[in-house]
Amino acid sequence: MTNSRTAHATAAEAESASFMKDFLALIKIGIVNSNVITAFTGFFLAIQFAGRHFLDELDLLFYVVIGSSLIVAGSAAMNNLIDRDIDPIMSRTKSRPTVTGRFRASSVLAMSVAFLLIGEILLFSASTTAGLWGIVGVFSYVVLYSMWSKRKHVSNTIVGSISGAIPPLIGWAAVEPTLGPGAWALFLIMFAWQPPHFYAIAMRRTEEYRAAGIPMLPVVKGFARTKKSMLAWVLVLFPLPFLLPQLGWPFIVLATALNAGWLFIALKGFRAEDDLKWATRMFVYSLNYMTILFVSMIIFAVII
């Protein structure tokens, strides 16, 4: 009897772990986390620049963190629902729970809508502007990107970059609804960072995107054209740190050094013998770049 109960408990624990893994895949937890970090950065910088005290704004922090998490998770789940016909073709996405049937389409739709509604209620509780920017973010990701441009236009990555650049505006708007130059600087940095990041992914998965009929830049224009675009977007990043003078020269020097490092790798791509290996280097650097840059913003906002 004891062994039977133990086996049953072990099976239940395994099922619970499997369910949680599938749920986190459904809401794309990695994307949720990265967007919450940028939303928090916008929130924190707005507080620092306005001369307000962080501990006095914990209610706004709750609305921003939970609200933005829910709308990103809801949007990601909706994206999985929309893409369930093409996800089985790509090895990167074929194990998503919307493909395997772990979650029914009706359940995913209901959960997604619930997350979006609750998230928007929380963001509107922070400020009307934060809630409105949340709606813009959801619309740009679900409608403009997932339902329209992703399958039709080679510019889909640029369109998708709009939604990815909005979380800092949401965080900032919770504190200062009128926004300001700093908020738009964060938006531009996030917007310009995304194309070289996602083009690197697209290069590594070119044949999968081709099989799925997704007109990603490497599929339509080839690797040489993609490398030129990635270089152009890295160059766009160079002047953007200067839009945040409140963080001081140490931040600008660090950000410029990060940009120079990315530029060096981008230029090496034109002589790369292994394009996929080079694309992987660009992808890894982009992740480290964004992490270091946004963490440094928070640090310099405190010490300057």
- The pLDDT tens digits for 24-36 are 999 999 999 999 9
Tokens (6 digits) for 274: 């292994």
Q: What angle do CA 211, 214, 220 make, to 5 degrees?
A: 95
DSSP one-letter string for 40-70? HHHHHHHHHHHT--GGGGHHHHHHHHHHHHH
Domain boundaries, the chain: 26-303
Between the alpha carbon of residue 196 and those of residues 119, 125, 148, 263, the distances in Å are: 30, 35, 21, 11
* CA atoms of 24 and 4, how far apart (whole Å): 30
Per CATH, which fold does 26-303 belong to? Farnesyl Diphosphate Synthase (1.10.600)
What's the pLDDT tens digit per position in 64-114? Answer: 999 999 999 999 999 999 999 898 988 888 888 988 888 999 999 999 999
Residue 10 CB contacts under 8 Å (≥ 6 apart), including other chains = none
What is the chain's pLDDT, residue by residue, as a tens digit (304 residues)?
A: 556 555 555 555 555 668 899 999 999 999 999 999 999 999 999 999 999 999 999 999 999 999 999 999 999 999 999 999 898 988 888 888 988 888 999 999 999 999 999 999 999 999 999 999 999 999 999 999 999 999 999 999 999 999 999 999 999 999 999 999 999 999 999 999 999 999 999 999 999 999 999 999 999 999 999 999 999 999 999 999 999 999 999 999 999 999 999 999 999 999 999 999 999 999 999 999 999 999 999 999 998 7
